[in-house]
Amino acid sequence: MISSLANSIFEKSIADYHIKDNVDTPISNSYPPAQLEHLLYLKNWIDTVQWHLEDIIRNPAIDPVEALAIKRRIDSSNQERTDVVEYIDSYFLQQFADVKTAAEASINTESPAWAIDRLSILALKIYHMRIEAERTDASTEHIAACKQKLMILLEQRTDLSSAIDELLSDIEQGKKFMKVYKQMKMYNDPSLNPVLYQQSIPANGG
């Protein structure tokens, strides 16, 4: 099952990152580039680094210059994350290219890769909530609340994993079909972001 593969790779990526626990640690993706596993590992590594960048930027004492640099790094990370999701969807489109779709087949509300994107984020939530639930320096109330949240997150992962596997099975059988819309990010595009393109317009239109 794809979800089982994804969950195991996400756990490996998160564990690998936390060996040094540093946002500047170079990625060490041991999976061959042509394989789905490579994309899954890359996807979660991006998410994991960004998770910690989001933590850093929320420090009330952060230097404004550093905060701006991190914000721009997060923006770049978001674009990279979107690109990898689209690569994963392209992989599935190729996998199911020869499937004969049933006349009554329906489209899903999200593509398989965007569902896998949520599974990757969920893996990070589970990892960090487990840490909170196992703290020895926190109050009994904090630990109890985190244990309860962890149970919900684990249940959510089970449900989402099943939904992803069912979706892919339905696509494979022609019961559902994929229709992928490339994400049209506007704020990173100098021709679409008015703050950027207005800077290049000469004064008085001349």
Q: What is the pLDDT of residues 150-194, one digit of tens each?
A: 999 999 999 999 999 999 999 999 999 998 877 666 666 677 667
Asked whether residue 68 carries a pLDDT value surpassing 80, the answer given is yes
Query: Tens digits of per-residue pLDDT, 69-91?
Result: 999 999 999 999 999 999 999 99
Spell out a b/e string for 10-35, using b for 16 or more CB atoms within 10 Å of the CB, else e: bebbbebbeeeeebeeeeebeeeeee
Query: Tens digits of per-residue pLDDT, 99-122?
Result: 999 999 999 999 999 999 999 999
- DSSP for 12-52, please give it: HHHHHHHHHT-TTPPP---S-TTSHHHHHHHHHHHHHHHHH
pTM above threshold 0.85: yes
Asked whether residue 133 carries a pLDDT value surpassing 80, the answer given is yes
Number of H helices, E strands in the chain: 6, 2
123 and 7 in contact (C-beta within 8 Å)? yes
The neighbouring-strand residues paired with 106 are 176
In percent, the amount of the chain with pLDDT more than 90 equals 85
